[in-house]
Amino acid sequence: MPDNKSVSEFEPDVVVVGSGAGGGIAAYVLTKAGIKTLILEAGRDYDPVSESAMLKWNREAPLLASSTPDKHFGYYDATVNGGWMVPGEPYTVAPGSKFRWWRSRMLGGRTNHWGRHSPRFGPYDFKPKSRDGLGMDWPVSYEEMAPWYDRTERLAGVIGANNGLENHPNSSPGVLQPAPKPRITELMIKAAANDLGIPCIPAHYAVLSRDIDHPDVPRQACFNASPCGRGCGIGAAYQSTTSVLPMAMATGKARIVTDATVTRVLTDASGKATGVEYFDKAGKAHSVRARVVVLAASACDTAKILLNSGKSGLANSSGEVGRNLMDTTGTNVRGHIPALEGRPRYNEDGMDVAHLYIPWWLYKEQAAGKLDFPRGYHYEIGGRFGAPGAGFSLGGMEDGYGVSLKEDARRYYGAQLSYTVRGEMIPNADSFCELDPDVKDKNGLPVLRFHWKWSQHEIRQIAHGIKTAKEMIGRLGGTVLTPDRTPEEAIEDGGVIIHELGTTRMGDKPSNSVTDGFGKSWDVNNLVIVDGSVFTSNAHKNPTLTIMALAWRSSEHLAERMRKGEV
């Protein structure tokens, strides 16, 4: 797909920086509107059809496909040339902070391996300050976003059901694809949850249960095998490399250049963007001119590019570039359930993703001031007859040796449940990124230095999540396997859930935000941002679907402005 040679003759109208969730959608929308679009990707070309390790057995990989410093999520994880460290592109963490930053360097970026969990933000999520006085309201409402969510879900292909719950919006009729049948473990979790007044419903995931017969880019329904994180060569699990990027290329209006690390947005004397500077693999600098620059490098890399573009950063009259950095809260509670011991075997792989999940359910209690934390969380639930590999475990029930050990394995296999908490973080003044004054990357540019602090809002939320998970395990007659920890110990470090957001937030005025509600820079008329950096808040809902829906809306708005000659 990429064409690294003929870029100089291409003369693009728009240059899009990044080919992941936001950049892929921008390329798709702009080229469909007839706009010549150049996509610059920092990583190498990547083809999931020939490169993803679908259906490989763990035993075929080094160390049973175990996690290593070369492949942090295991040998078969789709991530190329990345993980928690990228060679030549270090970052630093300020004393007293803990933060980790996951990146990949490949066409399609992190869409090649993401979790595909795709809940919509709801009406409360776009107006959080109006509801509880904390953070900031978005300049868009759910009502404005709803049609864009419909469109995005249709394009990506999202399984799920309309559950009609408070602040968990339904999709329009016919948009969602059918959800798979729940597993035994999920039905068990649901039984206990419902008994305790907690909902447990079909989850929304960007995985196809029906074929999509696109003339250029057909995609097959999930064949109920192989982990989505390995990448999906049949196109069932959404990633930009098997959908929007080839669709953009099919218009004839797109060019992709890989191994092109954008370092700066270039500007003229009036402050208008004229293009970008990028470095190729050999470390040679290039510049590309375009009418419009669209940034979709990921929240932190977009902030890095802007902070490196000009003295106090480009598009930064508000001083908000790099501020308001958010991640999702995370922890996990596991339990052993005697009622699941020795249960009848069947193929429990299904669509790899969770078929049910527990959405946040205590909005009314929060509104009534009955909880000591303001924002919600959800549980991603798990437990199944999983593929044996390096992590094979009977949940700590292993003991002794001999024939009895084999008997125990038969009895305890598939008898553990897991409750993974994923919750909302409210932006705070102590969590941000800035340029490191000393450390430079391979291209000689200052790297990011991260500052991080969870507030009591997040700590108390995690405490509630742990307590409630234990109650659900207890209701099933189970034993909690996770060691007792304080919520401060149990909460994952910043960045670990890989939902970095907020570093160029959108707002209703130039003084409090970097862009308007269409991702347009307040300061630079022809600079648009379409990645997670524009998030004003990070709801307790995984962000990628919202990144894509916003990118679509912002890209259409940009196309319209270009048509009218406003840019």
Cα–Cα distance between 6 and 83 in angstroms, integer? Answer: 31
Tell me: does residue 473 bind other proteins (CB under 8 A).
no
Candidates 182, 465, 487, 495; binder of other proteins (CB under 8 A) is: 182
Cα–Cα distance between 86 and 397 in angstroms, integer? Answer: 38
Question: What phi and psi, each to the nearest 5 degrees, are found at residue 501?
Answer: -150, 165
DSSP-based three-state secondary structure for 292 = strand
At closest approach, how far in Å is the CB of 35 from other proteins? Answer: 33
Candidates 34, 310, 350, 446; binder of other proteins (CB under 8 A) is: 350
Candidates 11, 59, 444, 456; binder of other proteins (CB under 8 A) is: 59
Residue 506 pairs in a beta bridge with 515
Q: Looking at residues 309 to 348 of the shown chain, list those that interact with other proteins (rule: CB under 8 A).
A: 339-340, 343-348
Tell me: does residue 184 bind other proteins (CB under 8 A).
yes
CA nearest to 148, candidates 302, 292, 25? 25
Cα–Cα distance between 148 and 130 in angstroms, integer? Answer: 23
Rank residues 345 and 467 by Cβ distance to other proteins and give the closer one: 345
Tell me: does residue 351 bind other proteins (CB under 8 A).
yes
Rank residues 177 and 461 by Cβ distance to other proteins and give the closer one: 177
Cα–Cα distance between 30 and 269 in angstroms, integer? Answer: 27
Q: Looking at residues 520 to 559 of the shown chain, list those that interact with other proteins (rule: CB under 8 A).
A: none
At closest approach, how far in Å is the CB of 359 from other proteins? Answer: 19
Tell me: does residue 349 bind other proteins (CB under 8 A).
yes
Rank residues 146 and 184 by Cβ distance to other proteins and give the closer one: 184
At closest approach, how far in Å is the CB of 87 from other proteins? Answer: 7
Residues 6+ apart with CB under 8 A from 220: 208, 211, 234, 235, 236
The region of 182-190, 283-291, 434-442, 500-508 touching other proteins under the rule CB under 8 A is: 182-190
Q: Looking at residues 359 to 418 of the shown chain, list those that interact with other proteins (rule: CB under 8 A).
A: 385-394, 398-403, 405-406, 409-410, 413
Residue type at 3?
D
Tell me: does residue 180 bind other proteins (CB under 8 A).
yes
Tell me: does residue 81 bind other proteins (CB under 8 A).
yes
Size of the site for other proteins (CB under 8 A): 88
At closest approach, how far in Å is the CB of 540 from other proteins? Answer: 27
By residue count, the chain amounts to: 567
Separation in Å, CA 463 to CA 86, 323, 336, 427, 470: 33, 27, 20, 19, 11
Tell me: does residue 471 bind other proteins (CB under 8 A).
no
At closest approach, how far in Å is the CB of 353 from other proteins? Answer: 11
For the residues of 102-128, what is the DSSP string, one character each? -B--BTTGGGGT---B-PPP-HHHH-H
Rank residues 192 and 276 by Cβ distance to other proteins and give the closer one: 192
At closest approach, how far in Å is the CB of 97 from other proteins? Answer: 23
Residue type at 46?
Y
CA nearest to 544, candidates 20, 14, 3, 18? 20
Residue 356 pairs in a beta bridge with 202
At closest approach, how far in Å is the CB of 119 from other proteins? Answer: 21
At closest approach, how far in Å is the CB of 64 from other proteins? Answer: 6
Tell me: does residue 75 bind other proteins (CB under 8 A).
yes
Separation in Å, CA 43 to CA 107, 136, 407: 6, 34, 48
Tell me: does residue 60 bind other proteins (CB under 8 A).
yes
**CA 38 to centroid of chain Cα atoms:** 24
At closest approach, how far in Å is the CB of 236 from other proteins? Answer: 11
Separation in Å, CA 249 to CA 38, 231, 443: 10, 20, 29
Candidates 9, 70, 268, 484; binder of other proteins (CB under 8 A) is: 70
Q: Looking at residues 8 to 37 of the shown chain, list those that interact with other proteins (rule: CB under 8 A).
A: none
Tell me: does residue 83 bind other proteins (CB under 8 A).
yes
At closest approach, how far in Å is the CB of 564 from other proteins? Answer: 45
Tell me: does residue 63 bind other proteins (CB under 8 A).
yes
Tell me: does residue 192 bind other proteins (CB under 8 A).
yes
Rank residues 63 and 429 by Cβ distance to other proteins and give the closer one: 63
Cα–Cα distance between 482 and 331 in angstroms, integer? Answer: 10
- What is the spatial order of strands in the sheet that 254-257 belongs to? 254-257, 37-40, 14-17, 292-295, 527-529
CA nearest to 299, candidates 511, 523, 103, 65? 103
CA nearest to 23, candidates 195, 257, 222? 257
Q: Looking at residues 206 to 265 of the shown chain, list those that interact with other proteins (rule: CB under 8 A).
A: 209, 220, 222-226, 230, 233-234
Helices and strands, counts by H and E, the chain: 14, 17
At closest approach, how far in Å is the CB of 178 from other proteins? Answer: 7
Rank residues 193 and 249 by Cβ distance to other proteins and give the closer one: 193
Residue type at 499?
H
